[in-house]
A and B are shown apart, each in its own frame.
Chain A
Amino acid sequence: MIELTVNGEHHELDVPPEMPLLWALRDVLGLIGTKFGCGIAQCGACTVHLNGAPVRACIMRVGDIAGQKVRTIEGLAEGTRLHPLQQAWISEDVAQCGYCQSGQIMSAAALLERSPNPTDAQIDDAMAGNFCRCGTYNRIRKAIHAAAGFQSAQFVDAAAEVKA
């Protein structure tokens, strides 16, 4: 049994330790939002957070991360409240085919946690590991800026409430 906390839920997985996290998520836990693209950490479609940092789930063996915390696209929203990036992805109409987008969003989410108001250069750097055959890069960049704006707007709102 391999223990794993996924999106805040504790799981005991009866899988071989060499199974990549990607397939444990998709086939065992049914969390199909994390996508398979290449299996060699080249495309970023399988990006998830491991203890808060973005990793490619296709090359992480579950046996090597036993007891650790994983966050997937399914764990990004808080209940029915979407993450600012998810809102921005919808309002900017980012997706074309959409297959790579959960990986893109997870890379972007990790970036915003490190840099709440990233520059274009920081975005390029953080997102270079995720590719998109449909070519949605310019909208992804725009959506990340928009989400950063939503975040700071929420922060201001919260501050206003405190004052009131």
Chain B
Amino acid sequence: MSVQTTVSMNRRTLLKASGLLGGGFLLGQLPAGSVLAEEAVQDLVVTGEMNAFIRVTSDGRITIYSANPEMGQGIKTALPMIIAEELGAAWEDVEVLQSPVDESRFGRQRAGGSTTIPRNFDSMREMGASAREMFISAGSLVMEVPEEELDTAESRVVHTSGRYMTFGQLASLAAKQDVPDPGSLSFREREDYRIIGTSVSGVDNLSIATGLALFGMDTRVEGMLYAAYQKCPAIGGRVVSANLDTVKKLPGVTDAFLVRGNGNPRELLDGVAIVGTSTWAVFNAKEQLNVTWDEADASKDSWRALTRDARALKGSRGAELTLEKGDVDGVFADPDNTVREAFYEFAFVSHLCMEPMNCTAHYRHGADGAPDSLELWIPTQAPGRNISTASAMFDLDESRITAHQMRLGGSFGRRVYSEYVCEATAISKRVRAPVKLAWTREDDMHHDFFRVGGFQNVKAAVNPDGRLVGFEHHFIGMSTDDQPVMGAWFRDTEFPMQNIDHVHASKTLLEIATPCGPWRAPGSNTNAFVVQSFLNEMAVAAGRDYVDFLLEILGEPRWFEEGNIRSLNTGRAADVIRLAAGKGGWGRRMPAGSGQGFSFYFCHAAHVAELAEVRVTPRKQLIVDRVTVAIDVGPIINMSGALAQVEGSVIDGLSTMLGQKITMEGGRVQQTNFHQYPVLRMPQAPKVDVHFIQSDYAPTGLGEPALPPLAPAVGNAVFAATGERVRTLPFSEAGFGA
């Protein structure tokens, strides 16, 4: 397979090179149309806080700066690998540092939606290739040979004769060469890659394995106090009063006070702040806190009521149409067709980051009329958004705010808003000291931005040949202020609606106040379960092999929106389906009580097929022995990191589908800590076999797309093993246990 991928050269940024004091090379970027004068650029370079991406010193050390947040998805290792490949660096010579936060200089510094690789692949290549050409120019001058006879490898400029000079020797001279015109750059061929596609150990692994400070929670600054923050258990309740005098007398407590918020859970909700000399002092005091809340405007959400209202819609269509084509009623009415209808349910779930929300803030009051300033240490997926929110909330110019992006102890979409940043800032401002705010696990579970729960009524028909001919879908999701919440969608491109002729899709939204947010593959993580379980029901009803049934629905290889990497490509889909079926031994005879299940899903530009093998005991213990994954995300950057993302997605998906469920009554989340919210442990972890199809399409992200197909693959395997069809997430609702 060979597809020409066009590299976009409409550069949003401008590369700038400079020498270093004491000798060396530095290549950074400026936003297009930057008003910074040349001298200003030099100043920034000299102070070393420039928007640098590559620095090479005369001793041959290569520093590559990673601008995007690292939360376990491996971007801090993968993006520098792309630069190093084009540059021709030896990976052992490379040190990776986290960039400062400044989106005006670095461009978008967010991580999310599995988009960091596709967004940055071309610009990282351009950066590396530009530096390479400058080293080659310098090498040509010194070695007195034509540039065409030179290439780079192992941190050297190498002549066809074998003569070479090191990057360190050439760094100062390379810095004086012209930055090449982006249109003139060529990139290495895939078959020549020495770094991209290999397995590289994460750049922070030594620090992680030895317990060095990396995470937001590990921040310690001079004179720092510790803080806890209690919000109303019914989300959005206002604080009236609290036993502050009692709390202030507790050991290690230095202050306690009420904080008035703006009612926006993404910014600052009302609460009680407790400040003290250790985390324990404030956590302990928090347990003694008695608060009177005004819950008039607080959430009244009830999972029981939502379930009742949704179930009343069983068998119906929604008032709002998403897609209608062909004559689905005619297809359902045809007595020769086999028609099935089912109702699926899925619960709210929590993010469960191992590192609870936290932020360290130092609000400095300006003396003698000088403006105030703010310094932040934040584990965050969206540092730029944190700065703009804090700027508006505390009336500070963005230039007065400095943010340090800390490694995230898990995120999965959790750390994209700014509430913990605003809480820490409000407390620091009041106590006039740097403050580390840490949430307890209970805070973290109660005040999440949850993966939204929901319901789907699905109906379909197969004709006498066993072919899927009609599909009807009613999405019953959630809205807040009449807007669908994050993840509450079922798009008109959802499989298999583009692939068949007779479709009716509609929706109903139920109003909630519980905050929801992105959770690893929003929408997809539940839509995949419903659609791939139900299509399996249809295949069973038609007496068809599920893999054959899926391949037939996909039809001829075609790309629904040619050139749009985010649209379904049935050829890529069929390839991963065949590969997973082949590698996983689809159709092999399974012992009694065991079964195989298959699923396919397309999201985040990734085509993924999964095959699960399970055993179910008579007491409904569900053991997943093995999951085979076939996935096409184009060329792999870091093989070790890529495998880790897929293995992790499978285990995370299993953990979530087995027993995780958040419920709320009277606006209060009912689960408090891990004892009520089971997480998969090592003995339950399946073997995971991963097979990549490294197609020639542009490389895309892997943080999310391997998770959605897991639940339906396991559910379909449970059906094969037991004959019981589970239409609810989590499976514990149907009596299954790990």
Which of the residues A89, A105, A134 comes within 8 Å of B410, measured between beta carbons? A134
Contacts of B644 in A (CB 8 A): 93, 96, 134, 136, 139
Count of B interface residues, CB-CB < 8 Å? 67
How many Å from the CB of A109 to the closest CB on chain B? 11
- Separation of A131 and B201 alpha carbons in the complex (Å): 22
A window 106-164: CB within 8 A of B:
123-125, 127-141
Contacts of A130 in B (CB 8 A): 681-682
Is A89 in contact with B673, judged by CB distance below 8 angstroms?
A: no
Instruction: Determine the residue in chain B with the shortest Cβ distance to A123.
Output: B682
- Separation of A124 and B441 alpha carbons in the complex (Å): 25
B3 interfacial by beta-carbon distance below 8 Å: no
Is A97 in contact with B409, judged by CB distance below 8 angstroms?
A: yes
Which of the residues A26, A127, A140 comes within 8 Å of B279, measured between beta carbons? A26
- Separation of A5 and B354 alpha carbons in the complex (Å): 28
Contacts of B412 in A (CB 8 A): 133
Instruction: Determine the residue in chain B with the shortest Cβ distance to A98.
Output: B208
A1 interfacial by beta-carbon distance below 8 Å: no
Which of the residues A15, A85, A98 comes within 8 Å of B72, measured between beta carbons? A98
B591 interfacial by beta-carbon distance below 8 Å: no
Is A93 in contact with B641, judged by CB distance below 8 angstroms?
A: yes
- Main DSSP-derived SS at the A contact region: loop
Q: How many contacting A-B pairs (Cβ < 8 A)?
A: 192
B window 356-389: CB within 8 A of A:
356
Contacts of B277 in A (CB 8 A): 27
A window 30-49: CB within 8 A of B:
30-40, 42-43, 45
Is B647 in contact with A38, judged by CB distance below 8 angstroms?
A: no
With known contacts A16-B251, A97-B410, A43–B354 Cβ distance under 8 A = yes
How many Å from the CB of B608 to the closest CB on chain A? 16
How many Å from the CB of B149 to the closest CB on chain A? 38
B window 205-240: CB within 8 A of A:
205-206, 208-215, 217-218, 220, 226
B322 interfacial by beta-carbon distance below 8 Å: no
Which of the residues B74, B211, B685 comes within 8 Å of A34, measured between beta carbons? B211
B window 410-450: CB within 8 A of A:
410-412, 438, 440-441
- Separation of A153 and B76 alpha carbons in the complex (Å): 33
B306 interfacial by beta-carbon distance below 8 Å: no
- A24-B280, A74-B210 given. 13 additional CB < 8 A pairs? A23-B278, A26-B279, A37-B355, A39-B283, A40-B673, A93-B205, A93-B644, A95-B204, A95-B205, A98-B72, A105-B209, A124-B683, A136-B647
Return the 8 tightest CB-CB contacts between A and B, nearest first: A33-B211, A135-B651, A99-B409, A97-B72, A73-B211, A96-B72, A23-B280, A135-B648
Residues on A facing B (Cβ under 8 Å)? 15-16, 18-20, 23-24, 26-28, 30-40, 42-43, 45, 72-74, 76-77, 82, 85-86, 89-91, 93-102, 105, 123-125, 127-141
